[in-house]
Amino acid sequence: MDKVAIEPRKDVAIIRLTHGVTNPIGPELVEELGRAFEQAGSEFRGVVLAGGKKFFSIGFDLPALLYLDRKGMSDFFHGFGRLLMEMTAAPVPTASAVCGHAVAGGTILMLATDYRIAATGRTLIGLNESRLGVPVPYAADLLLRHIAGDRVATDMAYRGELLEASRVEESGVVDQVAEKNEVEGLAVETVAEIAALPRESFAAIKENRIEAVLERYEKHGWAKNERFLDIWFSPEAQEGLKEAASTF
């Protein structure tokens, strides 16, 4: 795998995004991340998702995705939704170690893990889709409301602001902030502590916790994703997305 690496830490696997400095999310990264989670979930007792020191992930790879036609973008976007649900349903404890900025799709990836530990200081987190002219993806909206509640999720989605990790800690969007050089170690420790407990009982507890999210996505995900794609290809959204892509 070129864009994702698996790094063993005893019973815990760090799945590291290795797609350059910014870790943009495109079709290949989605495919590799799905395979990595499947492998790590069967070979290890816990998983930590990590990015780079500057960026956890900048979000969607706009310069590449804007070249895709409707079918290509549809394949990618529905695949991204499936990945999020698979990460959410991983039968082992998971955490995100967010040492760098997690923008839009980067924030969405971390929402699909059980715990999120981020670096203090100017580590920016948020869903800025509304500022680009597209909605927050349905899978992300489900996860955010499940984690942080309706008021916090509504404010984040409507305003589209990027906030320092300490600003979103209180809501549960981030569980803990720490110095950058401590984040990965804390994430591994958090996962390892839970992973040491009986696996089957943990899996059953987790199934109960995420059941509503998985059921709603199964029922409504396809239609909601198609609406996202309709808006993505609208002239207004394309203009905003192209402007954003020029800054990559």
Mean pLDDT, range 120-145, rounded to an integer: 96
Residue 172: its pLDDT value, please? Answer: 87
Q: What are the pLDDT digits (tens) for 139-150?
A: 999 999 999 999
Q: What are the pLDDT digits (tens) for 15-57?
A: 999 999 999 999 999 999 999 999 998 999 999 999 999 999 9
SS3 96: strand
- Beta strand spans in 81-193 (E): 94-98, 101-103, 115-119, 124-126, 163-164, 176-178
Question: Which 8-state DSSP code applies to residue 136?
Answer: P
How many CB atoms sit inside 10 A of residue 1's CB? 15
pLDDT at 247 > cutoff 90: no
Q: How far is Cα 133 from Cα 124, in angstroms, rounded to an integer?
A: 20
- Domains of the chain are 4-182 (3.90.226.10)
